[in-house]
Structures are given as structure tokens and as C-alpha cells.
Chain A
Amino acid sequence: MRPAASIIIFTSFSGIGFGLLFFLGFGLPAPRGFVALIFLGIAYALAIGGLISSTFHLGHPERALKAFTQWKTSWLSREAWLALGALFFMTIYGIGLVFFGVAIGLLGVLGALLSLATVYSTSMIYAHLKTVPRWNTPLTPTLFLVISLTGGSIITGLGEITLILLLMTGVIQVIVWIRGDRAFYGSQTKIETATGLGREGEIRSFAPPHTGSNYLLREFVYVVGRKHASKLRLICLVMMIGIPIALLSTAFNFLTSLVAAFSHLAGVMVSRWLFFAQAEHVVGLYYGKRVGT
């Protein structure tokens, strides 16, 4: 799949933003006044900045509000509602913290749960696609949720919980890669079922339907990440997990948290780039592009 920059920025930034809102909603920490404003400001900048970025890949961003209508069947529509709900309750909760110095616990918890549900719905957009076997697994929402919580916990500075979450993210990420590398060839969809010619003999794409490129080839068929995939995975693990653990297990202070957060975010973006770039869509079978590797 084509790793569109707007989608990588969206899933990485809003994931961490909503993760931060989750902890703030549960009062971990429960700052008041100006400090609360700073925390909420960071969370909102990440969450809303990501959401805005996601509209850049649309053909018609001016019609984006129509995406609220189909929540009954569409995960993208559900995501829009859940994000709106999370931001609504967290804003009221935040006004209480910043201006009145009170934490209305119920609103916070509601906002926190909706924040996590937003991340879940984002991940389900990808996880429910049978056409991309690498994504079509409960591991996809697991990874998105744990990354979101880890990012949030680094910014809130939760000590041991952060370290445990970092380790969990590392383990789940590696499991996702190991399973993912086998997913396409382990799936039932092959060139034999795609063409229905399996009974006739061995099938080879002899001539493509068009000499130039097209939307399908650009969007779904070319897998970009193969060449440097293992190096990028290593870079991802070092930035997303290694550096934050090394820093935060030495000292918990503003500086280590800041560097750890930026390193983690950079690592998450590499993880998301690989998530898209390495994903194989079954339509590639028609173009003979999924054979033998």
C-alpha cells in the first residue's frame, strides 16, 4: 500500500494525542490551572492536528462532514463520532481543570474511554479489511492501542507504568512483524482463486491490461518497504522503544521525558510507514505482482 504522509502523520500524532487524553481523563496526572492548560494543549494539538492532516488525502475535503453519516457500517464514520465525543467531554473536563480547579471525574473517565475508542476505531479501519491479510488481525488494534497508551504515558510521566508499556509495545510490534510477514502467503487468496483458473494449470501473468501505471498500481500494488525493511525495523525499535527506555530508566525529569517523547514519536512514525509500505493488497495478484517473494 502507498504510505501516504498525511495518513502516517494522522495515525501517529492523534494516536499519541488520544493516549494522553486517556491518562488526563483518569486524572493521571490531574493538574490544575495553567499546567492543565499546557497538558491539554499538547494533547489537543496532537489529536486535532492529526485529524486535520487526515483530510489532506481526500479528493474532496470540503465534503468531509458527510463522513459523520454512516456510523452504522463504516469504521471511518464511527471514528469521526468517537473523536468528536472524546474531544467534547475532555473539553468540558478541561475547562473545569483550567478555570475552576475542579476535576469532574465522570466527564474525565467518559472522555478517556472515548479517546481510547477513537484509537480503536482508527485501527479497525485497517484491521477489518480482508483485502490486506497483513492488517486483517486483532493484532492491528492491539498494536495501535498499546502505542497510543505508551505515547500518552511518556508525556504524562508515569514512571514504571511507562517502562512496562514501552516493553509491551516492543514485544507486540515484533509479533506483528513476524505474523505479518507470513500473512499474505498464509491467506486463502491466491492467483488461482483470483482468476478461477487454478484447475486449468499453473498461472502466470502474460500481459498487463495497460502499459502505463494507474491508481491501483500506485495505491495498492507496489510494495515500497522491502529493500530497507529490516534496517527500518531496527531503527523503529531503537527510536520507539530503546532510547525511551534507556533515558527513562536513568532519570525521570523534564529533559529525559522530552527527548524520550520525540524519539518515541519518530519511532512510531517509522512503524506506521512500514505498516503501510509493507502491506500487500490482494489486487496485486491480478497483476502478477505477488508471486514468489
Chain B
Amino acid sequence: MTELPKKTKRKLGLVIDLDTCVGCHACVVSCKGWNTKNYGVPLSDQDPYGSDPEGTFLNRVHTYEVQPVEGEAQLVHFPRSCLHCEDAPCVTVCPTGASYKRVEDGIVLVNEQDCIGCGLCAWACPYGARELDAAEGVMKKCTLCVDRIYNDNLPEEDRVPACVRTCPSGARHFGDFSDPGSEVNKISESRGGFDLMPEQGTKPVNKYLPPRPKDTIKEIDVLSPLLVPVAEEPKGFMDWLDKKLDGF
């Protein structure tokens, strides 16, 4: 049903740390790998070994250059996937009821048997979290690895989303935001976790952590005062030459 639940029992989601993400795209690959073999239809590729390859992905990593007013520019790697919004606009636009938000844990899912592939949910999502699969004609999106996190057949440490499990720099955290004492809430609060596009009114569950400020290196070279250039204005022969050349 495309009516959003007033309240979900839990709020499962991710904290993504823009400070520690190194932009390796391992989360992109593990996401594609797991979700091609499990929930719903595979994530197809078109012309994968040709000159113009493309495909469906549920997670993509952008890289931005951030230039502060003073100091060096900084590169920020920015993973982008479904934020499992509390007020998910993709759910309410769905004409068939294929898109829904689960009452038990807040995960936004697509029932692919009901999806007509109209694309309206992707139009309504400001984050580009949904991609229509070109081979199957149905909408694909992050499931928060719903088939991993409750899967008793997996060892306990694997019962997290594939992207979280694979991240080599610990930039992704998975947990329940409805529990005030949860690790994700603690990390988000202590590091100033923020929402993407809060003005769109979607109330995202996933939080992003800002990059930490860069260290400044103190000048410790005792000889450096002696290396300051001494001649600001030319003198002698160079002064004469300078004036003669100016005179031309």
C-alpha cells in the first residue's frame, strides 16, 4: 500500500562517514554482486564488455572537490543510495502499490510483481536512488539488504547490508535510529550527522557525517627565517638595467 505508515516500529538505516570514505567503490561492487543474485530480478548490464557499457546500480559513489575560503581544496568521496526516508515521496506516487514502506523496520521496498515500470517513483525521488532496470522493466532500489540482515543462514557478522560488510575503511554503519542508545545514533550525534536536501521534506533516515577539519602543519624549521628573500627592489647594475628597459 502506498500510504506511508504514521510510525514505524524501528528505523533501520545507514550512517555514511564522508571523512573516512576513500572512494574505492567496493560498496558499489558488493552491492551489485549481492543484489544481482538475491532479492528480486538481477541488476542487468547493457553492453558490459563493449564500448558503451552501462547498468543498474543501487549505490553510486560521487567525488566532489570542496574549496574552502582559505586553505587547500579537499576531495570528498560521496556514496549515494536510498535514504529510506520517513516521508518517502517515491512511495505515495506509486499508482499500483508496488512501492511501500515497511511498518516493522521502515525499509522502503518495491514489490516487483506489481511494478508497471512507469518510472514515477524515480521522478519523485530527489536523490536518484531508484533506477529502472533496462532488461526487466521494473524499478530497482536499495533494499537495505533485507535478505541479509534477518538471514539466519548467514554468520552473525554478515547480517548487515553488503556495502557495510565490505567497506574497508569503516565508513558505513548500519543500525536502528529509533533506539536512542544505538551506535548509529551515537556516531551521528557526536559527529554532527546531517540530512541530504532537508528542504525537500523527505525526512531521510540515513545520515551523513561531514569531513573532519584538516590539520594545519606548524612551521618548525629553525633555518627558515634566514631563507627569507632579502632584495625586494633591484640595486646597482640590475637597477640601471631595469630603468633603461622601462625607458624604451
Contacts and interface: CB of A to CB of B under 8 A. Distances in A.
Interface of A: 1, 57-61, 63-64, 66-70, 72-77, 80, 125, 128-132, 188-189, 193-197, 199-210, 212-216, 219-220, 281-283, 286-287
Contacts, number: 196
Contacts of A204: 64-67
A213 B54 contact: yes
Contacts of A72: 2-3
A59 B132 contact: yes
Nearest to B139: A59
Contact of A189 (B66, B115, B197): B197
B62 A207 contact: yes
B137 interface: yes
A43 B195 CA distance: 48
Contacts of B133: 59
Top-9 shortest CB links A-B: A59-B117, A59-B137, A209-B60, A201-B68, A283-B128, A66-B96, A67-B95, A76-B95, A207-B63
B48 to A, nearest CB: 10
A75 B93 contact: yes
Given A194-B196, A214-B57, 17 more contacts: A1-B123, A60-B117, A66-B96, A73-B94, A129-B123, A131-B123, A200-B66, A200-B76, A200-B210, A203-B64, A203-B66, A204-B67, A205-B64, A206-B75, A208-B62, A209-B62, A282-B197
B138 A195 contact: no
Contact of B199 (A61, A67, A193, A205): A193
A72 B69 CA distance: 49
A74 B95 contact: yes
A286 B55 CA distance: 18
A282 B126 contact: yes
B197 A76 contact: no
B95 A189 contact: no
Contacts of A283: 125-128
A62 B137 CA distance: 12
B96 A200 contact: no
A229 B77 CA distance: 36
B137 A76 contact: no
B116 A66 contact: yes
A3 to B, nearest CB: 13
B115 A59 contact: yes
Contacts of A286: 62, 80, 127-128
A292 to B, nearest CB: 15
A194 B65 CA distance: 14
B219 to A, nearest CB: 24
B24 to A, nearest CB: 12
B2 A73 contact: yes
Contacts of A210: 54, 57, 60
A205 B119 CA distance: 26
Contact of A74 (B94, B115, B195): B94
Contacts of A70: 1-2, 94-97
A214 B115 contact: no
Contacts of A58: 116-118, 137
Nearest to B125: A131
Contact of A131 (B96, B126, B208, B211): B126
Given A69-B95, A73-B92, A125 B120 contact: yes
Interface in B110-147: 114-120, 122-128, 131-134, 136-139
Given A196-B208, A209-B62, A212-B54, A189 B199 contact: yes
A75 B119 CA distance: 14
Given A74-B2, A131-B126, A206 B65 contact: yes
Nearest to B50: A212
10 contacts: A63-B114, A67-B96, A74-B94, A130-B89, A196-B194, A201-B67, A208-B62, A214-B131, A220-B122, A220-B123
Interface in B45-102: 52-57, 60-69, 73-76, 78, 80, 89, 91-98
B198 interface: yes
Contacts of A77: 95-96
Given A70-B2, A74-B93, A286-B128, A197 B116 contact: no
Given A60-B115, A73-B92, A130 B126 contact: yes
A194 B63 CA distance: 13
B65 to A, nearest CB: 4
B92 A74 contact: yes
Interface string B184-201: 000000000011111111
Contacts of B53: 212
B197 A215 contact: no
Contact of A203 (B65, B115, B116, B120): B65
Indicate the member of A68, A129, A208, A215 with the most B CB atoms within 10 Å: A215
A191 to B, nearest CB: 8
